[in-house]
Amino acid sequence: MFVRQLLAFSSVSLLILQSLSGQNASPTPPVERSNPWPAAAASPAQPQITFNSVHVDGHYIALTFDDGPHKTLTPKLLDLLAAHHMKATFFVVGQCVVDNPDILKRAVREGHEIANHSWSHPNLGKMSDEAARREVQKTDDAIFAAIGKRPTLMRPPYGSITARQKRWLHDDFGYRIIIWDVDPLDWKRPGPSVVTSRILKETHAGSIVLAHDIHPPTLEAMPATFDQLDRKGFKSVTVTELLAMATPEPPKPKASPRPAAIPAASPGAIYVPPVTTSTPGG
């Protein structure tokens, strides 16, 4: 009897101690679980603003001509483009637009693109934002007055522009900034054959080719240039059309590891390869 009472008392005491211990213990922290869904990006990726070439499927390029329109040379260039069924983009200077609006109208009728190249061809990268804006706005207005449509592309003279200027040109005007990857330096007038040779050597699918329709030797170079681009299978489209064709560049293949060199054996010696052990299942 005494033994049973002692066991019962011990059991009750143990229960009381466990209860008190549970009340005094700190709570167990929750287990952190990894989120199976990736967190949403804080903000969408910024769109690309500046282009000097694009990756395309097919032999498409963009021929571009700066500093016009020229009263006599640009119409001759339009004749050549029509004969070869090629499209081009003209980055025009506002002062020339005011003097030759009918040439712009013809270019648009024939499927070419008109883009902004400033009012007086200054170095925008060395100007204040206010002065640069005036250059761009005056040309934008002149183009609209000539063809009834505002441009969507802009090329800074000399390719000179600041990152801040690129941003407000895109945000305020909706412009994409077009540079180039093929430059024959035709403005130095190296001779028609040199201009042709440089363009053919540097042009590849997705290229944006720079030239100027205000230099007579450049116009002399274009018949041979167009003929040989045709033979190579290139098709010239407007810059906007080329950008619309852009496709992601395929990842570059990783270089395979080079095999270990076998040490040269001394004359008369027999090379014995090292013994390797394989792991189970390997």
- Which CATH number characterizes residue 125's domain? 3.20.20.370
Mean pLDDT for the chain overall: 83
* Catalytic annotation present for 66: yes
Asked if the structure places residue 9 within a domain, the reply is no
pLDDT-above-70 percentage for the chain: 74
Give the mean model confidence (pLDDT) for residues 173-195.
98
Asked if the structure places residue 58 within a domain, the reply is yes
The pLDDT assigned to 255 comes to 65
Asked if the structure places residue 37 within a domain, the reply is no
Which of 112, 117, 170, 212 is labelled catalytic?
Answer: 212
Per-residue pLDDT tens for 109-121? 999 999 999 999 9
* Catalytic annotation present for 172: no
Asked if the structure places residue 159 within a domain, the reply is yes
The pLDDT assigned to 260 comes to 58
Give the mean model confidence (pLDDT) for residues 150-168.
97
Buried b vs exposed e over 53-69: b needs ≥16 C-beta within 10 Å?
bbebeebbbbbbbbbbb
Give the mean model confidence (pLDDT) for residues 160-173.
97
50 or 260, greater pLDDT? 50
The pLDDT assigned to 257 comes to 64
The number of domains in the chain is 1
Asked if the structure places residue 263 within a domain, the reply is no
HEC-encoded secondary structure of 208-276: EEEEECCCHHHHHHHHHHHHHHHHCCCEECCHHHHHHCCCCCCCCCCCCCCCCCCCCCCCCCCCCCCCC
pLDDT-above-90 percentage for the chain: 71
pLDDT band at 139 (very low <50, low <70, confident <90, very high): very high
Give the mean model confidence (pLDDT) for residues 11-35.
40
CB atoms within 10 A of CB 75: 16
pLDDT band at 62 (very low <50, low <70, confident <90, very high): very high
Q: How many residues does the chain have?
A: 282
Asked if the structure places residue 54 within a domain, the reply is yes
Structural domain span for residue 74: 50-244
**d(Cα 17, Cα 260) in Å, to the nearest integer?**
70
187 or 12, greater pLDDT? 187
Q: Are 224 and 192 in contact (CB under 8 A)?
A: yes
18 or 59, greater pLDDT? 59
- Mean pLDDT is lowest, of 39-43, 55-59, 94-98, 103-107, for 39-43
Q: Are 98 and 142 in contact (CB under 8 A)?
A: yes
Asked if the structure places residue 166 within a domain, the reply is yes
Which of 66, 67, 186, 213 is labelled catalytic?
Answer: 66
The pLDDT assigned to 256 comes to 63
Asked if the structure places residue 162 within a domain, the reply is yes
